[in-house]
Structure 1
Amino acid sequence: MVQFLKFVGATLVGLFLFCLIGIFILMGISSSFSSSEKPDVEENSVLMLNLSRPLAERSTEDPFEGLNLPLNNTPAKLGLLEVVQSIRNAKNDKKIKGIYINTEGVSSGYAALKEIRDALVDFKKSNKFIYAYGEYYTEGAYYLSSVADKIYLNPIGLVEFNGLYSEVPFIKGVLEKLEVKPEIFRVGEFKSAIEPLMLDKMSEANRLQVTSYLNAIYDVYLKDISASRKIDVAKLRQISDSMLVRKPEDAITHQLITNIGYEDEILEILRKDLKVDKKEKIKFITVNTYYKSIESKYYKNKIAVLFAEGDINSGKSTDESIGSETIVNELRKLRKDDKVKAIVLRINSPGGSALASDVMWREIMLTRKEKPVIASMSNVAASGGYYMAMACDTIVAQENTITGSIGIFGVLFNAENLLKNKIGVTTDRVTTGKYSDIGNPVRSMTPQERQIIQENVERGYETFTTKAAQGRKMSVENLKKIASGRVWSGSQAKENGLVDVIGGLDVAIEIAAKRAKVTEYQPKYYPVQQDFFSKLSGKSKEEALIKEQLGEETYLYYKTLQKIKNLQGVQARLPFDLVIR
């Protein structure tokens, strides 16, 4: 009888949990349907620009967001596309009186931040206000906020204005302790992606290139802030190099901010400007909500924008990777669509598989025979990312985009001693030929095998440089002078002939329309995004949980180790995680 009651109790608990989860899902579905309805924008509204969420090329929807449910472990991503389009539309929207920037947690590449910043600069031509408040301004947060008419800093806050740095984690010591030997093959003095496996610090060649492009990116940073704050670049550089801003009062002294105060104080000023009574709420509207309210004109002619974001692999794309199969299929569909007059390939990628990159290169070449294909580079379009871009008719990049890195490498790992000495496993084999098990991860390679793979890598480099020279209309000899795996900023790449035009996505779309000879057109975005139910049990949830547990800094090292697993074979990619802070 007791056993029977246990079974009954367990069944009732199971049914209760099933019903509870069902209610959560129904709430999500209801929220999903309601969120698809076009929201109304109230009179006297203020566009709230909150960049505390991860910034991606396009936003991701999560109907469970804000419901505090156990299913909701992944913060929905804020889309660069939605942010920029919302700012541009708000400029002429009479219901939007201004923009309020909350700078908490800004984390993005500088090319994406520049695209937002340029939209904010254009917004100011409407004579509407932009106010910013921060408890702590990182370099990136201040870069955006420096546009504002009023910049408030918390009385015990801080403005980080002491220059940029780029740090690379080296794991040679880890591999040595594990007794794992990397077998490395590369072409190009500057191809530094494999350095973390073989060195414990930067090579001189890598230090030279990082110093060069990091300073080029910082030059853009200072130039833009100089224009907004009306402070000479030389003065800003002095403030930065000497770290003269060490407390809020210093930021006032050096005119980096306008006021020291709490958020309620700047909100009080906002109320007065909007003529809102203290008892009333300020009508803030978020970017995602406002974007849904934007009415897009219908035109028969379409300019397709195909997004490619993440590491490059064979197979299908995900939110964080570019799959050659997905991109190829999308290009074929767009090529056959008579309504699509031109294509903008929006690239945000450090590269990846050389094979997958070449597969996409071929499809782009086939597509441009029938309609214009324009490359638009975001934060980074290097190595395999540049491989995609070089097939396009025109390449557009921001001044502070990271690009170039024309070179390839190969890595194989020998784990023989790891298995033998750490866990006591040995292996033996029988082969039908001398090279039957070439690349076997549990034995050392012979000199002949190394030569075979090195020759393969060198052939890949010749293919890469030859096709790059063809795309850029220069001799292979001249192309190789700026190749060798060297990374460039967008402005440097423009000077070297690797980029045609400086600008953002809007510029690329305009060029595409002009090439297609259409004056009335509608941008359409591809691939069509998956609904949240398709992603509900996806890897992104798992990754978000790991990131939450490890924290931002430790998570970067975790990702570095994870990427080692994907480095087998020939690669065209940047160093593991090129992060600029």
Structure 2
Amino acid sequence: MPSENQGFSVWGFIKGFGKLLIGFLLLLQGIIGLVVMLLIVGVIVSVSDNLAGGKAARVDVPKGAALLLNPQGVLVEQAEEVDPFEKALEEAYGVDEPDQVEARDIIRAIRKAKTDERVAGLVLDLGGLYAPASSASKLHDIAAAIEDFKTSEKPVIAVGDYYSQEQYLIASRADEILMHGFGNVVLYGYGSYEAYIKSLLEKLKVTSHIFRVGTFKSAVEPFMRDDMSPEAKEANLAYLSVLWREYAASVEKARALPQGSVQRYADEMPPLLEQANGDFAKLAQRYGLVDDLKSRPQQLAYLKEKFGADKDGKSFKHVALSRYLKAVGEAEPDGEAPNIALVTAAGVIVDGEAPAGVAAGGDTIAKLLKKAHDDENVKAVVFRVDSPGGSAFASEIIRERLLELKEAGKPVVVSMGSLAASGGYWISSPADEIWAAPTTITGSIGIFGLLTTFENTAAEIGVYVDGVGTSRLSPLIATGVGPLPEVAAELIQQSVEEGYERFLRVVSEGRGLERDYIDSIGQGRVWIGETAQGLKLVDKLGDLDAAVAAAAERAGLEEYDVVEMVEKLTPFQRIFGGAAARAMKLAGLDFAEARAHQSALRKLFAQIKGEIELLDSFNDPSGLYARCLSCELR
């Protein structure tokens, strides 16, 4: 019997090993098959792209059609590269991630349509557009493009179920605004509100170590207070008031409303609504915010009457924004005229590499600036900055490249987007000239450091840290569960103070202003574009086109091409860039995550994800940040 048991065990081992080997071979075969499939798809996409000369397929624009301005997604300065394969997977799993829409694409389409004989008018359907409050200047730029479009005497009609405050700024430019009878226009102004967690951290016995310089540097206030400081309220209200004033004046002018109408509408909404018997839509119509109330079928019928029906008669004759952009393409440089390079730093400034549209990677932006530096045909650079700042180290890496450009005799003109604060101002300061919009949020010249430790929380559950080290700084090894050594805290505070002094020197040198003057308007205070001009932080007010013209003038150019410096991914790279992650998704390993997006807790998960991404962006090697968190209005 023993020998039989032993023989059975050996045989069982052999059979088990055989099954394991077969299983491994089948898995390997599946992986190889997947890779081959992706390779084939990549080659097909690459070949088709090459055959098309890298240009979009032909899209016909019907004669007499309306351009349907129906952007779907979040309004941004620079959109993330779209991966069609990953997009298809997201749709397959039901993951509803919002797209990104570049303001420049919308403006380009409007400008093309103005002189396009095929386009008979403009229809604004803005229900799918989301614009954060901090994107105010982008909204004003789009509104200005529509105003210019109207000089062609082509009609502009806005349609929608309702209009958010941001959507309405654009819609107000329409000749006619139609809204559903159950819709509303709610204007509530601008605000800056934070969740303050000092007491919560105390209850959890979490220790926050805060290091900052600047009376108005409020980024870390939520960790050290239970309310907003008077200094932060003063600074925030100052720039928010200008944002609101510009918004109100813009809408009142577009709709021919008496001065103060928008403020009254926001302040006196309850009694005004009572007069309209609680009907938001009728209130908006009576107040002059919309022209007519129509159901969806009625709106469609009206557009058919205005522009004619399409081929199948189901809709009005139109071409949607995305298709029109493909139809008109992008202007290609002729290769003969000198170039003005356009380099964009959009998003939080982080150390290292980062894809466009995700963050402004210090090394990534520096590489693009180096490319402009080395290109002999580039005679000037327009540096578009739309960033709340971030890593002080990454900001300095970018600034060094800008100084190299100037040393090479190539003018550098900064064009500020909606937000160019803190580190965003750091990288703007060395420019020969700085342009901003009246509603650009800028300044916030200050530095902070933040570190949380959990020694008291750990002690509550009976966890303690002890040990020995060879220097006074050795306890840093245990910091986190252990306390922050006092000597380390002294070092960090000194580093923050030196970082602030360096920030002052950077701005002083770049702007040719005294250090003490910069300190007086610094201290972490946020300024709005028009105020910043008076303070000499900004030279002129104007859009990106004005900055390009200024760069051309400085370079002595009359004829030139604007060439955008970006890291373009090939179709092959787009597909294989995240092959491992996509393979995991195909295997169903991310299915739970996909389902989470569809659950009732979707918003909560999104908030948690946002907080994780926020923490992940704090990657400065020295732990020093020139970032304006209060500027990033939602």
Conserved 8 A contact 1:185-1:453: yes
Question: 1:55 aligned to 75, 87, 90, which one?
Answer: 75
Q: Secondary structure at the match of 1:69?
A: helix
After superposition, where does 1:149-548 map in structure 2 within 5 Å? 149-243=175-269, 244=272, 247-276=280-309, 279-280=312-313, 281-292=315-326, 293-294=328-329, 296=331, 298-299=333-334, 300-318=337-355, 319-369=357-407, 370-422=409-461, 424-438=462-476, 440-531=479-570, 532-533=574-575, 536=578
Deviations 1:427-446 (A, max 9, x none): 33432222244483333334
Q: Secondary structure at the match of 2:183?
A: strand
Measured at CA, do residues 279 and 332 of structure 1 come closer, stay the same or move farther in structure 2, by a change above 3 Å?
Answer: closer
Conserved 8 A contact 1:354-1:572: yes
Conserved 8 A contact 1:106-1:138: no
Query: Which residue type is aligned with residue 190 of structure 1?
Result: F
Q: Aligned residue for 1:574?
A: 628
Query: Which residue type is aligned with residue 354 of structure 2?
Result: S
Q: Aligned residue for 1:94?
A: 117
User: Which is worse superposed, 544-553 or 111-120?
Assistant: 544-553
Conserved 8 A contact 1:563-1:576: no
Deviations 1:497-543 (A, max 9, x none): 11112222222222112222212222221222335325556999999
After superposition, where does 1:70-89 map in structure 2 within 5 Å? 70=93, 74-89=97-112
User: Which is worse superposed, 501-510 or 200-209?
Assistant: 501-510
For the pair shown, the structure with the greater C-alpha radius of gyration is 2
Measured at CA, do residues 371 and 47 of structure 1 come closer, stay the same or move farther in structure 2, by a change above 3 Å?
Answer: same
Conserved 8 A contact 1:546-1:555: no
Query: Which residue type is aligned with residue 83 of structure 1?
Result: I
Q: Does 1:43 align with 2:63?
A: yes
Q: Distance in 1 between matches of 2:522 and 2:598?
A: 39
Measured at CA, do residues 20 and 462 of structure 1 come closer, stay the same or move farther in structure 2, by a change above 3 Å?
Answer: closer
Deviations 1:402-430 (A, max 9, x none): 111000011122122344434x5433343
Question: 1:559 aligned to 588, 605, 610, which one?
Answer: 610
Deviations 1:207-247 (A, max 9, x none): 11111111110011011112211112322221222123661
Percent sequence identity is 31
Q: Distance in 2 between matches of 1:152 and 1:24?
A: 49
Question: 1:125 aligned to 151, 154, 169, which one?
Answer: 151
Conserved 8 A contact 1:82-1:288: no
Query: Which residue type is aligned with residue 314 of structure 1?
Result: D
Query: Which residue type is aligned with residue 445 of structure 1?
Result: L
Query: Which residue type is aligned with residue 502 of structure 1?
Result: L
Deviations 1:483-504 (A, max 9, x none): 1000111122122211112222
Deviations 1:138-195 (A, max 9, x none): 1101111000111111101111123222222233345334432111110001101111
Measured at CA, do residues 226 and 359 of structure 1 come closer, stay the same or move farther in structure 2, by a change above 3 Å?
Answer: same
RMSD: 3.4
Q: Secondary structure at the match of 2:84?
A: coil
- Report the TM-score when normalising by structure 1: 0.89
Q: Distance in 1 between matches of 2:144 and 2:595?
A: 34
Deviations 1:262-306 (A, max 9, x none): 233233222222244795343432333322323525343221111
The Cα shift of 1:471 comes to 1.8
Measured at CA, do residues 509 and 183 of structure 1 come closer, stay the same or move farther in structure 2, by a change above 3 Å?
Answer: same
Q: Secondary structure at the match of 1:271?
A: helix
Q: Distance in 2 between matches of 1:324 and 1:150?
A: 46
Query: Which residue type is aligned with residue 183 of structure 2?
Result: G
- Report the TM-score when normalising by structure 2: 0.82
- The size of the alignment, in residue pairs, is 577
Conserved 8 A contact 1:302-1:340: yes
The Cα shift of 1:28 comes to 11
Q: Distance in 1 between matches of 2:559 and 2:62?
A: 30
User: Which is worse superposed, 38-47 or 226-235?
Assistant: 38-47
Measured at CA, do residues 551 and 368 of structure 1 come closer, stay the same or move farther in structure 2, by a change above 3 Å?
Answer: farther
Q: Distance in 1 between matches of 2:367 and 2:34?
A: 40
Question: 1:143 aligned to 145, 169, 177, which one?
Answer: 169
The Cα shift of 1:72 comes to 7.1
Q: Distance in 1 between matches of 2:580 and 2:241?
A: 39
Conserved 8 A contact 2:211-2:496: yes
Task: In structure 2, list runs of 5 or more residues that go unmatched.
Answer: 1-15, 274-278
Q: Distance in 2 between matches of 1:27 and 1:358?
A: 38
Measured at CA, do residues 72 and 253 of structure 1 come closer, stay the same or move farther in structure 2, by a change above 3 Å?
Answer: closer
User: Which is worse superposed, 20-29 or 288-297?
Assistant: 20-29
Conserved 8 A contact 1:354-1:570: yes
Deviations 1:12-32 (A, max 9, x none): 9x9699689959994996598
Deviations 1:454-505 (A, max 9, x none): 1211111111112212222221222222110001111221222111122222
Conserved 8 A contact 1:416-1:443: yes
Measured at CA, do residues 417 and 171 of structure 1 come closer, stay the same or move farther in structure 2, by a change above 3 Å?
Answer: same
Query: Which residue type is aligned with residue 559 of structure 1?
Result: G
